[in-house]
């Protein structure tokens, strides 16, 4: 019997395979309260829809092959080259064709896709050696969207959060890699951890178009890593190097509720939920009145057709999940109020919620990458000045 990987049975078997392939030696160390207090949040200035360097560049009309689409690509390359020069950049390009009576008289129409991938790997690793925490979001808007559609929650906010995570973790990664080299560490699965940020060129044809994600997953599955010496381990292909894929989408609305969708990543969901709960306990979250973003920390995961709700029916993580990648979608179970409309322009983004997401995501990534070894010192308490007249 031929197994259709897109069927619920095929997805279930892929998830089961992923659980067997997951590294059993992975040690997860929670951050201290001191470290959590110093987790950087995106500022209001950075999230300003007009001038903010994180959000504003994405708030433009950007369907594939448009001027705005090319401008986003240039912005991403320039951002990493200017601010994060130790990251590598990779372009993964593809072309697909569709035909139909409504498209240029039934002629085949070419659809070009360009996925951008930025990686920060331990400097001692060889190709195929590092395991990579991977965060991804799509950056294009559908060609079927209303004219002038800016797609703030779809998915400009998610892209801005990816840049914040990369910029926030870079200094800690540099310090950790430097100290590990000085101690002669590295060369094992738990230690050779890196970060990968992926901007997926999907969502062009409609809101369920994941051709960019399909192309990237297929290409990485076929990209065989070079053989390593017998003394070193190595992942067979680029896809196998993903330790966890976090897909961000539809973020930016107030009171989001992100469910736990997959049994294989429920433990990772719980870890992120604990980060959120601890941040709230330390009074570090700005959206205290809106409720938990990640409420399923102890309840059973959703298992309706191995997915929960409309939000995952055609999203960009599916091509990876079908190939056995461990996936945690950070996608609310309901669309933000203005998603898909011209009011999704950045002015209606709930900045308190976005700032809180920035804390949760950075805190989770720091824990996943075992960054407690580079915990910063607690800030020195400022002494209360004693008036000269009262000094002994």
The answer to whether position 347 is within a domain reads: yes
pLDDT for the residue numbered 253: 95
The answer to whether position 380 is within a domain reads: no
The answer to whether position 141 is within a domain reads: yes
pLDDT for the residue numbered 5: 39
Residues in the chain: 392
pLDDT for the residue numbered 106: 64
pLDDT for the residue numbered 187: 87
Please say whether the beta carbons of 365 and 162 come within 8 A.
no
User: What are 373's two structure tokens?
Assistant: 């070894």
The answer to whether position 392 is within a domain reads: no
How many CB atoms are located within 10 Å of the residue 247 CB? 26
The answer to whether position 167 is within a domain reads: yes
CA nearest neighbour of 37 among 381, 303, 299: 381
CA nearest neighbour of 330 among 385, 302, 293: 293
pLDDT for the residue numbered 215: 92
Please say whether the beta carbons of 26 and 369 come within 8 A.
no
pLDDT for the residue numbered 12: 46
Q: Show pLDDT as tens, one digit a residue, over the chain (392 residues).
A: 223 334 444 444 444 444 444 443 455 789 999 999 999 999 999 999 999 999 999 999 999 889 999 999 999 999 999 999 999 999 998 777 776 555 556 677 777 889 999 999 999 999 999 999 999 999 999 888 899 999 999 999 999 999 999 999 999 999 999 999 999 998 888 899 999 999 999 865 555 667 889 999 999 999 999 988 877 888 999 999 999 999 999 999 999 999 998 988 999 999 999 999 999 999 999 987 678 999 987 777 765 444 444 445 568 999 999 999 999 999 999 999 999 999 999 999 999 999 999 999 999 999 999 999 999 998 875 444 445 455 44
* Number of folded domains that form the chain: 1
User: What are 76's two structure tokens?
Assistant: 């991403």
E strand spans, the chain:
88-98, 109-120, 131-138, 193-200, 242-248, 327-330
Q: How far is CA 128 from the centre of its chain?
A: 21
pLDDT for the residue numbered 276: 97
The answer to whether position 31 is within a domain reads: yes
Q: Could you tell me the CATH number of the domain that includes residue 360?
A: 3.40.630.10
Question: Could you tell me which residues are beta bridge partners of residue 90?
Answer: 117
pLDDT for the residue numbered 119: 98
pLDDT for the residue numbered 114: 93
- Catalogue the long-range contacts made by 207-210 (C-beta closer than 8 Å, 24 or more residues apart): 207/142, 207/154, 207/314, 207/340, 208/313, 208/314, 208/315, 209/142, 209/314, 210/314, 210/315, 210/316, 210/318, 210/319
**CA angle, 139 then 142 then 147, to 5°:** 110
User: What are 274's two structure tokens?
Assistant: 């604990």
- What is the C-alpha separation between 196 and 175, in angstroms, rounded? 18
pLDDT for the residue numbered 18: 42
The answer to whether position 384 is within a domain reads: no
Residues 304-315 as b/e (b if ≥16 CB within 10 A, e otherwise) read eebbbeebbeeb
The answer to whether position 387 is within a domain reads: no
Q: What residues make up the domain containing 276?
A: 8-375
- Catalogue the long-range contacts made by 168-171 (C-beta closer than 8 Å, 24 or more residues apart): 168/39, 168/40, 168/358, 168/362, 169/120, 169/195, 169/362, 169/365, 169/366, 169/369, 169/371, 170/84, 170/86, 170/87, 170/120
């Amino acid at each position: 019997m031929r197994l259709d990987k897109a069927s619920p049975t095929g997805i279930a078997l892929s998830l089961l395979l992923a659980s067997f392939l997951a590294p059993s030696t992975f040690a997860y160390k929670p951050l201290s309260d001191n470290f959590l207090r110093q987790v950087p949040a995106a500022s209001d200035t950075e999230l300003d829809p007009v001038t903010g360097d994180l959000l504003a560049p994405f708030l433009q009309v950007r369907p594939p092959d448009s001027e705005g689409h090319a401008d986003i690509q240039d912005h991403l390359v320039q951002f990493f080259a200017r601010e994060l020069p130790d990251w590598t950049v990779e372009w993964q390009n593809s072309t697909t064709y569709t035909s139909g009576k409504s498209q240029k008289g039934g002629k085949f129409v070419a659809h070009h896709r360009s996925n951008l991938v930025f990686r920060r790997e331990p400097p001692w690793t060889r190709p195929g050696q590092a395991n990579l925490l991977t965060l991804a979001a799509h950056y294009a808007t559908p060609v079927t969207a209303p004219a002038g559609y800016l797609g703030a929650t779809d998915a400009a906010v998610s892209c801005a959060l990816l840049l914040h995570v990369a910029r926030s973790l870079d200094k800690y990664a540099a310090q950790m890699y430097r100290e590990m080299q000085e101690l002669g560490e590295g060369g094992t699965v738990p230690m050779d951890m890196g970060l990968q940020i992926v901007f997926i060129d999907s969502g062009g044809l409609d809101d369920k178009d994941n051709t960019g994600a399909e192309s990237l997953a297929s290409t990485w599955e076929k990209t065989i890593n070079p053989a390593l010496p017998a003394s070193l381990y190595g992942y067979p292909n680029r896809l196998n190097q993903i330790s966890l894929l976090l897909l961000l989408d539809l973020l930016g609305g107030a009171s989001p509720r992100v469910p736990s969708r997959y049994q294989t990543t429920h433990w990772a969901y719980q870890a992120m939920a604990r980060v959120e709960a601890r941040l709230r306990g330390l009074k570090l979250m700005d959206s205290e009145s809106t409720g938990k973003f990640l409420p399923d920390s102890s309840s059973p995961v959703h298992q309706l057709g191995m997915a929960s709700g409309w939000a995952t029916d055609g999203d960009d993580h599916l091509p990876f999940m079908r190939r056995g990648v461990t996936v945690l979608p950070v996608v609310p179970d309901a669309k933000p109020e203005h998603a898909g409309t011209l009011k999704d322009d950045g002015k209606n983004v709930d900045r308190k919620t976005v700032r809180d997401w920035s804390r949760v995501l950075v805190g989770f990534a720091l824990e996943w990458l075992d960054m407690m070894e580079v915990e910063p010192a607690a800030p020195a308490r400022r002494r209360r000045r004693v008036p000269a007249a009262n000094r002994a």
